[in-house]
Structure 1
Amino acid sequence: MLQYTRGGPARGEAYLAGGYAGGTRESQRDLISLVVPFHNEAAITGAFFDAVVPVLQGIPDSDYEIVCVNDGSTDATLERLIAACDANPRVRVIDLSRNFGKEAALTAGIDLADGAAVIPFDADLQDPPEVIPQMVARWREGYDVVLAKRAERQTDTYAKRGTAALFYRVHNAISDTEIPENAGDFRLMSRQVVDSLKQLPENRRFMKGLFAWVGFRTTQIEYVRQARVGGESKFSGWKLWNFAIEGLTSFGTLPLRVWTYLGGATAGFAILYAAYLILRTAVRGVDVPGYASIITAVLFLGGVQLVGIGVIGEYVGRIYMEAKRRPVYIVRRTYRQGQS
């Protein structure tokens, strides 16, 4: 029987790992890795560790590590993370060379986490850490992925709730990979799932989609999302819009195919309209065409063509960025107790 290991393969390497075979487990104490991106969160760093550490310590038959990824913070976040690392040997700090974005920071933490189970987690504590023991319990029942689904989102604005619901509906309608609605990055993944994620080579990473794409046996638990303990969200409306575009173009080509259908429908309408003009001219004679109708048709078709070019450009841009094969992130330095 294969057992969990306290380390995974480097990105691009693959081997079969896991802790289950025939519904039984052999490991006695499981290492639980909490992966937490930080970007300018100095105001809530202390509250984060005060809330999370007691919960992780209370999980039976397990050990834990907290993998903190400093994603190019410009405030005192790194200093406070290093202080937490010096005070607790189970805290590790990964300092990225600049701000690469949350998806890259999550990738870095997942790549470097050693746990038999890995849990992405937000530093703002909107996802309550008290849910983690429930996730571990479901994992020990034999599930590879335990989703934490938001039962309600009253802490979010009405506009954010509405646009999020619209995004999930549109994404799941046009994508080859369905994303569970109201389930963010907060989830537990077994070592086998993590090793599968580390095999995926793309540089532009939409993590929710990648989590769903790898599959595995999945269950979910519900929780109530809390308000931030402090600070401000780093996602503006513009960033959320670009994030949605990233998700919509990452796991399906329907936005490209739809222009074939739209072009065919437009051409068919043009043929029918041409036939109508011929018949009308034959019956009623030649009349002077209207200037307004011509301008309207030209502007409409021009707009349709530009939108189509824009969609194609979005995919070409993704191909361009992937072809560069730049690394997803660069680690400037890592910190452990006694090594910083």
Structure 2
Amino acid sequence: MSTQLAARPPLAASPGLTPATLRPAEARPALSVVVPAYNEQEVLPAFHARLTPVMEAIGLPWEVVYVNDGSRDRTLPIMEGLRAADPRVALVNLSRNFGKEIALTAGLDHATATEAVIVIDADLQDPPEVIPDLVAAWRGQGVDIAYAQRRVREGETWVKKATASAFYRVMQRIGGKVKLPPNTGDFRLMSRRALDALLSLREQHRFMKGLFAWVGFPSVAVLYDRAPRAAGETKWNYWKLWNLSLEGITSFTVAPLKVATYLGLATAVFASGYGLLIILRTMIWGNPVAGYPSLMAVVLFLGGVQLMTLGIIGEYLGRIFNETKGRPLYLVERHLPSEAPLQRHTTS
């Protein structure tokens, strides 16, 4: 099967020509649930079993878009089995592992809902039973985004909770006009117009929590208790979380560059003051033999500051390099749309 490029909304190069617009309105669902997955064979059947009655109880036509992000276990065959048993299942199989942020983008690109899209992980830490609360907030309060805000984080160590809290505080302080809501992940509902605005952002280095906040639109928080992972192992170790935090900081603020500038200025002032002190001491007490330890301390301090500053500049330069290459965000090996006979539905 031929490989499909997806640098922009994937089925065509022209803006606005997406899987949603290519599909007849009467065959499109009101709601799409987007579920990126990587090596989730243990939990996928249980997730779909819990998702189905929840979505059926809402009473709107719906589909679920499963995205296989290059899994190396039986995630793809399980997705194919779910689609064979339920025509409301759509499958997007990426050509390799691109990472969760890109896989989520691929799922949103292929969501065909006319009214709203729901983003949720497959590990059941975000309970599907919260989705009706998101839908109620969206329809009842007339907002474009209803995001699930964690009230309790079960199954996580105190270290992870503390570092997550610190990251959100840092982003609140340095994020400028883009404010990340605290204790909020990807689990949310977005209206079609908010989704279309989000899909117009095609940068390579994607921090989806920041992009969700950047597009704006009226939003409301829906509190919920986050559960422990139902099965399998988390794919987010501390190294990956650290890199994700760097992605978020460098994607939405130039504060590190400003810090490097101010640190360089402070170092220059300190060096000038120290040089003046050396001159005064020489004039008063003569020119004693310079101490080797103090000389090495100054050299190492200045060298460390310079290397740190170059590293910060390199982070931004590397992102510019990746953007200028103009590569597609992802490649799709196979896209199997949902096939349920759906009817057009508009919210009241």
CA contact (8 A) 1:11 1:199 kept: no
Give the aligned partner of residue 261 of structure 1: 262
What residue in structure 2 maps to residue 317 of structure 1? 318
What residue number does 1:174 align with?
A: 174
Corresponding position of 1:26: none
Counterpart selection for 1:71 from 66, 69, 77: 69
User: Counterpart in 2 of 1:23?
Assistant: none
Q: What does the per-residue CA deviation read over 1:62-100, in whole Å, with 9 as the maximum and x for residues that have no partner?
A: 111100001111111111111110111111011111111
Q: Which residue of 1 aligns with 2:250?
A: 249
**Closer, same or farther in 2 for the Cα pair 1:207/1:11, shift >3 Å?**
farther
Aligned equivalents of 1:164, 1:197: Cα separation in 2 = 24
Cα distance in structure 1, aligned partners of 2:130 and 2:219: 16
Asked if residue 234 in structure 1 is aligned to residue 232 in structure 2, the reply is: no
Conserved 8 A contact 2:260-2:312: no
Structure 1: distance between partners of 2:200 and 2:10? 11
Corresponding residue for 2:21?
A: none
**Residue 115 of structure 2 is aligned to residue 113 of structure 1:** no
Identical counterparts, % of pairs: 51
Aligned to 1:40: 39
Change (3 A) 1:223 1:12: farther
CA offsets 1:167-199 (integer angstroms, 9 cap, x no match)? 111222222322111100001000011000111
Paired residues of 2:197 and 2:215 also in contact (CA < 8 A) = yes
2:29–2:112: 8 Å Cα contact kept in structure 1?
A: no
What's the CA shift for 1:154? Answer: 3.0
Long gaps (5+) in structure 1: 1-6, 16-28
For residues 1-25 of structure 1, give each alpha carbon's deviation from its aligned partner in whole angstroms, at most 9, with x where no partner exists.
Answer: xxxxxx999677259xxxxxxxxxx
Q: What's the counterpart of residue 160 of structure 1? A: 160
Is residue 144–residue 217 contact of structure 2 (8 Å, CA) maintained in 1? yes
Q: Please say if residues 36 and 100 of structure 2, whose CA atoms lie closer than 8 Å, have aligned partners that are also in contact.
A: yes
Q: Go from structure 1 to structure 2 and tell me whether the alpha carbon gap of 1:12 and 1:242 turns closer, same or farther (over 3 Å shift).
A: farther
Question: Which amino acid is 1:166 matched to?
Answer: A
TM-score by length of 2: 0.88
On the 8 A contact 1:33/1:117 being kept in 2, the answer is yes
Aligned residues of 1:43 and 1:230 also touching (Cα < 8 A): yes
Q: Which segment drifts farther, 325-334 or 171-180?
A: 171-180
Q: Contact conserved, 1:146 with 1:187, CA < 8 A, in 2?
A: yes
Which AA in structure 2 matches 1:66? Answer: V
Q: Structure 2 stretches of 5 or more lacking a match?
A: 1-8, 18-27, 341-348
1:331 CA displacement: 0.7
Distance 2:229 2:209 in 1: 21
Instruction: Note if contact 1:8-1:195 (Cα within 8 Å) is conserved in structure 2.
Output: no
Residues 232-261 of structure 1 show CA distances to partners (whole Å, capped at 9, x for unaligned) of 011122111111111110001110121111
Compared CA separation, residues 336 and 201, structure 1 to 2 (3 A): closer
1:290 Cα offset (Å): 1.1
Provide the TM-score with structure 1 as the length reference. 0.90
What amino acid does structure 2 have at the position aligned with 1:44?
A: V
Q: In the alignment, which residue of structure 1 is the partner of 2:295?
A: 294
RMSD: 2.1
SS at match of 2:61: strand
Task: Give the whole-Å Cα distance in 1 for the aligned partners of 2:308 and 2:94.
Answer: 37
Runs of 4+ in structure 1 displaced over 3 angstroms?
A: 7-12, 336-339
Deviations 1:85-134 (A, max 9, x none): 01111110111111111001100010110111111110001001111011
Equivalences for residues 1-340 of structure 1 within 5 A: 13=15, 31-60=30-59, 62-115=60-113, 116-141=115-140, 142-176=142-176, 177-336=178-337
1:197-244 superposed Cα distances (whole Å, 9 cap, x missing partner): 111121111101100000000100110000111000111221111111
Higher RCO structure (Cα 8 Å, ≥6 apart): 2
Cα distance change, pair 158–321 in 1 and its aligned pair in 2 (3 A) = same
**In the alignment, is the contact (CA less than 8 A) between 2:63 and 2:90 conserved in 1?**
yes
Moved more, 122-131 or 234-243: 234-243
Count the aligned residue pairs: 320
- 1:166–1:314 CA distance, 2 compared to 1 (3 A): same
Q: 2:143 aligns to what SS in structure 1?
A: coil
